[in-house]
Amino acid sequence: MGKTGLRIALYLNLIRWDRPAGWLLLLWPTLSALWIAAGGFPGWHLLLVFTAGTVLMRSAGCCVNDVADREFDRHVKRTAQRPVTTGAVSVREALLLGAGLALLAFGLVLTTRLSTVLWSVLALAITLAYPYAKRFIAMPQAVLGVAFSFGVPMAFSAVQGSDVPSLSAMAASVPALAWLLLLGNLFWVLAYDTEYAMVDRDDDLRLGLKTSAITLGRYDVAAVLACYLLYLAIWSLALLQHGLSPVFLAAMGLALLQVLWHYRMIRSRSRAGCFKAFRLNHWLGFTVFLGIALALARP
């Protein structure tokens, strides 16, 4: 492999290209919101914008996160070989790559409504704030939960918003249903990212970092289970009132079975079990999305 190929391989490693679970966790609730807002298939344009935008923004987030955490990551076995941490990719390179990816995502958003563009600026600010939250907030996963759920109001805005340049039009572009779904999705993020934090709990304690796994202590498993159940309950109650068919309830039943499976994986608090549960969460999101898409499919 030539020099250029090696640099590309390092950049792909930096953005976790070989680990799609991260962007899938962002994608499924976003697509679910698109389908709900549109009452079915939202059209190829919005599907492409939000799918590609999700991949690009998650990749940009990885660049920022690795720069922010480079001094901590060198002391954690799971993250010690990340390109920025080892110095294989410089801080400047990582930030330039992240900025480029974010600009590409913003270019896609510019093809949608003005209200969506304005919401995307707020979403970017929250994304940039998350890597530093673990220094100051007892449960930084809540910040990640907002960042990872912001595709929901953006999706509603893209379908139902306007091009009127005002804060009132921006607010009106997102109905109460979208915020309720965002709240439910936030609990899902709390569940799976606490599983993730349980993997690194010992290292994070030694480094003096703050995570939900540390804050919750011996109640971590119970809290993860409660967050899963709140996520499914909020989405079920919100969408049943939206008139979705029984196929949606069947999908939520399958999602509940996955929650029980996750409980079995994390109840011993083993690193391997917690990491496996985290990695498999995208199937839960896919199950919910599939139930919504099938329920809204037009005959």
Identify the structural domains of the chain with CATH numbers, from first to last. Answer: 3-295 (1.10.357.140)
Q: Given this model, what pLDDT does residue 2 score?
A: 65
pLDDT computed for residue 223 by the predictor:
96
* pLDDT score at 138: 82
Identify the pLDDT of residue 275: 94
The alpha-carbon radius of gyration of the chain (Å, integer) is 19
pLDDT at 26: 94
Query: Nearest Cα to 233, choosing from 172, 185, 176, 177?
Result: 185
* Res 177: pLDDT: 95
Residues of the chain where predicted confidence (pLDDT) is lower than 50: none
For 246-280, letters b (16+ CB in 10 Å) and e give: ebbeebbeebbebbeebeebbeeeeeebbbebbbb
Question: What dihedral angle (degrees, nearest 10) is formed by the CA atoms of 95, 99, 102, 103?
Answer: -170
pTM of the model: 0.92
